[in-house]
Structure formats: structure tokens, C-alpha cells
Structure 1
């Protein structure tokens, strides 16, 4: 009876541990890239620029230039496609040893066109950044 109890406990332990879903680094990188682009399309240029892979401290003039570039990009998208209305993840894969990921986002524009863009990501200090 005791052997049967240990066998059942062993089977249940294996079943429960195999059911636990592991966190996929590619999925985390993809959702992070999507979030950065959501910041961009909602006009939160500060948050978008903070998501760029850059040194922790940059000159104020350089940061202003990055913010201006983000704003000009969105103005261009507004003129050409009536803006970006939605961002979704098309595909992603990650190389955890090199701490890089390849994310493909699908941009849905206001003029009903869609475009897939490649977004390279890099992990630094446990956080995914746009490269």
C-alpha cells in the first residue's frame, strides 16, 4: 500500500510540474516592443525614448533630438497613412545567451493598410530595450 502511495505521489508531482508554463523570453521581448510602440502611437514620446537602448545618461540636447525624431515620425505616419491605429506582435524569437531578440510587429494604419516591421531588441540589466 505504501509503494502505491509513493507511485501515485510521484505521478502527480511529475504531472503538476510538467503543467507549469515557463515564461518565454521571446514573448516578453515581443510584448515589451509592442508596449514601446504603443507609447509612440499614443504620443508618450518620453516613455518611447526611455525604451531605446542608449547609455543611462545622455546629453539633454541628444534626448530632445530623439523626442523630436519620434514626434516627426508619427507626424509623417499621420500624413501618409492617417496614423498608426494598432500594433500587434507577428512573431518573435530570442537568443538568451546573447541577450538579443528579433521581434516582428504588425502596424495597422488608419488607411487600412498594414505593415510588418522588424524590431531588434537587446536585454540590459534584465530589461528589454529597442536596439
Structure 2
């Protein structure tokens, strides 16, 4: 009985000590409206290579992989245009930061030429002092 109490106390202390502490440089530093809209507008205006360059996950990938990613985004944009029409603009709706302050789900309202709109979510990560696409 005494061993169970001691074990429970040790596990509780270990769990409390293992929680992630926020990155002090990222806390209160959510992605800015201008940066988010600039990055997403690269996609909307067909600058797919520049859009892929904003992706942290592609930084160490070979050129052929990055070209494939750009081609996939181009294909996706074409398919969306076929379904919804030409996208006119995107505006930031909201940012949901994780507890560490290093990642964010960013919600943008995308407006289309045919008077429709949709909410799009992109994941961003804080790396080397700036926010990037995940």
C-alpha cells in the first residue's frame, strides 16, 4: 500500500515535470496577417515554386521533389478553379496557436469570382525567428 502511494506520487511529479514549456520567442508572436496573406497569395497567383519555398518541410528536399510539390499545387489549384471558379483573394479569419506557441492553424476566407467563398486552414510553424508553412 505504501509503495503504491510513493509510486503514484513519483509518476505525478514526473508528468508535471515533462510538460512542454512555451518557446519564449514565439509566445505572443502569432503569424501576422500580412505575412499569412502574402504567403497564401503566392498560391492564389500561381507562384507555386515560391509557395513551396515557404514550406519548412521542403527545405532539405532535392530540387526534383520541390518541383513535384509545385506541380501538385498547380494541379490542385486547377481542380479548385474548375469547381469553384477563379479565386479573387484570401483574408485572414483567425489563428489558433498551440500551447507551445510554435505551431498554428491559420484559417483564411477565400473569395471566388462567382461570389462564393470558403474557409481554408493552413498549418504554420515558427522556425528560426519567422512563421513558415509546415
How far apart, CA to CA, are the structure 2 residues paired with 1:120 and 1:77?
19
* Map of 1:31 onto structure 2: 34
Instruction: Give the TM-score normalised by the residue count of structure 1.
Output: 0.72
Aligned length: 108
Q: Hey, what's the Cα distance between the residues in 2 that align with 1:76 and 1:33?
A: 23
Please point out which of 92, 97, 102 is paired with 2:95: 92
List alignment gaps of at least 5 residues for structure 1: 1-23
Other-structure match for 1:107: 110
TM-score between the two structures when normalised by the length of structure 2: 0.71
How do 1:1-131 and structure 2 match up within 5 A?
25-28=29-32, 30-95=33-98, 97-131=100-134
- The 1-side partners of 2:29 and 2:99 are apart by 7
What is the CA distance between 1:93 and its match in structure 2? 3.2
After the TM superposition, list the runs of 4 or more consecutive aligned residues in structure 1 that deviate by more than 6 angstroms.
Answer: none
Unpaired segments ≥5 residues, structure 2: 1-27
Higher helix share: 1
